[in-house]
Copies of this chain bind each other. A is one copy, B any other.
Amino acid sequence: MAISYRAGPVAVGRRLGPEEFVSVRTAHTHDPLGDWGPCGACDLGPLSFCANMGRGTVSSLARVQCTLRYDAQDTMFREGDDGTAVYVLIAGAVKVYKLMPDGRRQITGFFFRGDMFGFCLETAYAYTAETISPVLACRLPMTLLRTLSQTAPEVQHRIMLRMIGKLATFHDHVLLLGRKTARERVASFLLSLSDRACRRGEPPSPLVLPMGRADIADHIGLTVETVSRAMTRLKRDGLLDLPSPGLVVLRRPKALRGIADGLTPEAA
């Protein structure tokens, strides 16, 4: 793999790796695709922020967009940094978290291919973003909202849709953290990953977990040990298989859903 990784908080790749991100083309390339078409800087297709967007708008975005490459465990931005851009993940996985002074950590979200994060506007980032695996991301400066608000209200509108979606997931996650048992949390978490895989057009079941148990624990408000025990128990109860720590086969998704929603008594 002849990929040149660059050190730095925002390693910018001029060229892309050959296999991993095959159909990615150079940013700023504009094919003559007619009135509707992609920007060319990513291969997200229908998941793209620009999917089915007016060509004029797309080229405005393409002009300010840049495609960034990160290694695993890179910090993309830190809590308190000036919020200057939103990111759309093209490949890889990202976690965002907040830390307490004594080291307690809460992962407030995971992001995958097609996801947008880093919403900000005249504000600092409220959390730190760190890559879990090597990442390719499209960076959109938020100043573009001012610039494009007149000519392309579509852009604001789409970002708003993403924010509303994120708000809805927060409501769900707050319910999970405030009121669900360990078993229910793990079931809910796995199902939410599965649902998101489906929305990306991937199969719901052989589920790949790019994050470790510690990250899962810090996301759903448990300890590593409790996450592990809950998983083992779900496996023992025939609800899922764990061929390897990073792979989950959902064997009885509906029963899992029942547990996630608190319909199944804990003893079962």
- Chain A interface residues toward B at CB < 8 A: 98, 100-102, 104-106, 108, 119-123, 126-127, 145, 149-150, 153-154, 156-157, 159-161, 163-168, 170-175, 177-180, 218-221, 261-263
Contact = CB atoms under 8 A, between A and B. Distances in A.
Contact of A164 (B119, B178, B219): B119
A167 B164 contact: no
Contacts of A180: 100
A86 to B, nearest CB: 11
Total copies of the chain = 2
A156 B150 CA distance: 11
Nearest to A262: B100
A43 B171 CA distance: 30
Contact of A149 (B156, B178, B179): B156
A174 B171 contact: no
A100 B262 CA distance: 7
B163 A261 contact: no
B119 A177 contact: no
Contacts of A156: 149, 153, 156-157, 160
Given A119-B163, A145-B160, A163-B164, 20 more contacts: A98-B172, A100-B180, A104-B179, A104-B262, A108-B171, A108-B175, A119-B164, A121-B164, A123-B168, A126-B171, A127-B171, A145-B157, A149-B154, A160-B163, A163-B163, A167-B170, A173-B174, A177-B177, A177-B178, A179-B221
Contact of A175 (B100, B119, B168, B171): B100
A122 to B, nearest CB: 8
4 closest residue pairs by CB, A with B: A178-B221, A149-B153, A177-B177, A170-B170
